[in-house]
Amino acid sequence: MIRPMLLFLAALACLAAPPRTLRVDYGHTGDATTERFGLDRVVLEPLPWPGDLGKAVDTSNLGKYCFEVTDKATGKPLYSRGFASIYGEWETTDEAKALSRTFSESLRFPQPDAQVRITLKKRDDHNAFKAIWTFDLDPKDPLIEQAQPLEAGGLISLQRSGEPVDKVDFLILGDGYTAAERGKFEEQARRVMDLLFVQSPFKEHRKSFNVWALCPPSRESGVSRPSTGLHRRTPLGTTYDAFGSERYVLTFDNRAFRDIAAQAPYEFVEILTNSETYGGGGIHNLYSTAAAGNSTIGYLFVHEFGHHFAGLADEYYTSDVAITNSPSRPEPWEPNATADPKTPKWKALLTPGVPLPTPWKKAEFEAHSHEYQKERRALRAANRPESEMDALFAKEKVYEMKLLGTDTHSGKVGAFEGANYEAKGYFRSQEDCLMFTRDDVSFCAACKAAIERVIRQYAK
């Protein structure tokens, strides 16, 4: 009688086991006016789905794109997520007006039991999601790739707060670290983790996170920086100079990135580069990057992670960027920028009595910032030592903190013009914020509220 009972219990355990993670890799091709898609491969990842199946349908309304997985027979929604992409940024650059390019992208979701229909959607001019690609998938297709990925080094548990299904699973990847530098990576990963949890609202929700780390060994130390003639073939393929911006760090090798990340439970990913030169990047629901050895890592990492984690917009507008916004200034999907200062997205957070739009020392800030940007460009053009750039950053921070911290409406929530790379037409919720300057300030009210919504979406 004991053996049948054991078999029964084992069967129950199997029924309760979470599904595996299924991933669709595809090519996203186009230019500034057209785009098309092509299936690359379907991969059954080695680990179970890390998320809460009770929160499988996305309610955040974040992302330039979203995808939906529905049961093919019944049309029942099984999973959905909003996201942004490298292509979605690239299509707004000048290069996209001159040529067509292909970018590799992925969709990850819990392995379904039966055939599904996958629909990829994109926002139209009115911010509504419209279907742009649909295809069917049979999870029992024998051609689904199931081979184990190449070894990425042992998984490091930096913080284990509970089971992956109950927590936000945050993965830190290292790129450009040799096998001998694994200890250096682990030390920097722990530092980055601690830097995240000193910032509100992450600080108050630390127990909602698991933090994992992987560091696949690189043949050479460091990552590529093509503008200076430095080229490295690293496991993750991260590089400076993305879109021609010397400080923008991305990887375009999506296949390699996904195969390595699949060896850990994850929902959000930070790629630390073994470099000191200021640089990073962040794309919503894809990954963020940061130069681990830079002196401003406390700001750099958290700022870029804000893009990735909560879809936060850049609030600065005096720096050089490669992308171009529409002159019509449509309402951005990002939660911390608006084109409507009278009724902003964060209207429930407004400080009583603050005028809308909210006046601030805008002209003075812009005049000083433009001179600072000239000096910054000159240092990079001359390839001066990073210590000189660090000194410039420190000098600028002192000035900005005094100017922005002593204004009439400093610390208040309103609608301050200048955001989303534009001096006019877009507004931010507070005069200063981690998404606006490198000052010793926290996230603004709109950013904090957005971050907390995402934490609630993934953690119990």
Q: How far is CA 419 from CA 235, 319, 338, 415, 422, in A?
A: 35, 11, 8, 10, 5
Write down the pLDDT at residue 17.
84
Distance of CA 220 to the CA centre of its chain: 26
Report the pLDDT value the prediction gives residue 324, as an integer from 0 to 100: 77
State how far Cα 406 lies from the chain centre: 32
Instruction: List the 280-283 sheet strands across, edge first.
Output: 156-159, 209-214, 168-175, 268-273, 287-291, 280-283
Task: Report the candidate in 177, 173, 192, 170 with the shortest Cα–Cα distance to residue 271.
Answer: 173
pLDDT, position 149: 87
> Are residues 238 and 289 in contact, defined by beta-carbon separation less than 8 angstroms?
yes
Torsion of CA 38, 43, 49, 52, to 10 degrees: 10
Q: Say which residue the tokens 């073939």 belong to.
A: 233
Going by CATH, does the domain composed of 156-312 fall within 3.40.390.10?
yes
pLDDT of residue 16: 63
CA distance 88 to 103: 10
CATH tag, 17-137: 2.60.40.3250
Helix (H, G, I), strand (E, B), or coil: what is residue 319?
A: coil
150 DSSP 8-state letter: P
Per-residue pLDDT of the chain (460 residues), as tens digits, is 345 444 444 444 444 689 999 999 999 999 999 999 999 999 999 999 999 999 999 999 999 999 999 999 999 999 999 999 999 999 999 999 999 999 999 999 999 999 999 999 999 988 999 999 999 999 999 999 999 888 899 999 999 999 999 999 999 999 999 999 999 999 999 999 999 999 999 999 999 999 999 999 999 999 999 999 999 999 999 999 999 999 999 999 999 999 999 999 999 999 999 999 999 999 999 999 999 999 999 999 999 999 999 999 999 999 878 777 888 889 999 999 999 999 999 999 999 999 999 999 999 999 999 998 899 999 999 999 999 998 998 899 999 999 999 999 999 999 999 999 999 999 999 999 999 999 889 999 999 999 999 999 999 9
**Coil, strand, or helix at residue 234?**
coil
Residue-range domain boundaries for the chain: 17-137, 156-312, 347-442
Q: What is the pLDDT of residue 1?
A: 39
- pTM, entire model: 0.93
Distance CA 377, CA 382 (A): 9
Tokens read off for 298: 């406390």
